[in-house]
Amino acid sequence: MPPPVVMTIAGSDSGGGAGIQADLKTFAAHDTFGTCAITCVTAQTPNVVAGIAPIDPEMVALQIRTVCSAFALRAIKTGMLFSAAIINATADVLLSCGSIPLVIDPVMVATSGARLLEDDAVHALTTRMMPLARVVTPNVPEAEVLAGRPVVDHEAMREAARRIAGQYGIACVVKGGHMQGEGIMDVLCDHDDIIEISGSRVPDAQTHGTGCMYSAALAAGLAHGDSLPDAVERAQSHVRGALAGQRP
- Cβ(133)–Cβ(170) under 8 Å? yes
Annotated active-site residue 211? The verdict is yes
Annotated active-site residue 175? The verdict is yes
Give me the sign of the Cα torsion angle 83, 64, 191, 200: negative
Query: Which helix (H) or strand (E) element contains residue 24?
Result: helix 19-29
Annotated active-site residue 189? The verdict is no
Annotated active-site residue 209? The verdict is yes
Which listed residue (15, 34, 209, 221) is catalytic?
A: 209
Annotated active-site residue 34? The verdict is no
**How many CB atoms lie under 10 A from the CB of residue 50?**
11
Burial of 31 (0-12, 13-18, 19+ CB in 10 A): exposed
Phi, psi of 240 (to 5 degrees): -60, -45
Which listed residue (26, 175, 176, 189) is catalytic?
A: 175
Q: Which residues contact 35 (CB under 8 A, 6 or more apart)?
A: 5, 6, 7, 8, 67, 71, 73
Residue by residue, DSSP assigns 30-50 as TT-EEEEEEEEEEEEETTEEE
Q: Which residues contact 55 (CB under 8 A, 6 or more apart)?
A: 38, 39, 40, 41, 86
DSSP state of 17: S
Of the CA atoms within 13 Å of residue 44, those in its CB half-sphere come to 28
Annotated active-site residue 11? The verdict is no
Which listed residue (17, 35, 212, 221) is catalytic?
A: 212
Which listed residue (39, 172, 210, 221) is catalytic?
A: 210
- Catalytic residue ranges: 175, 207, 209-212
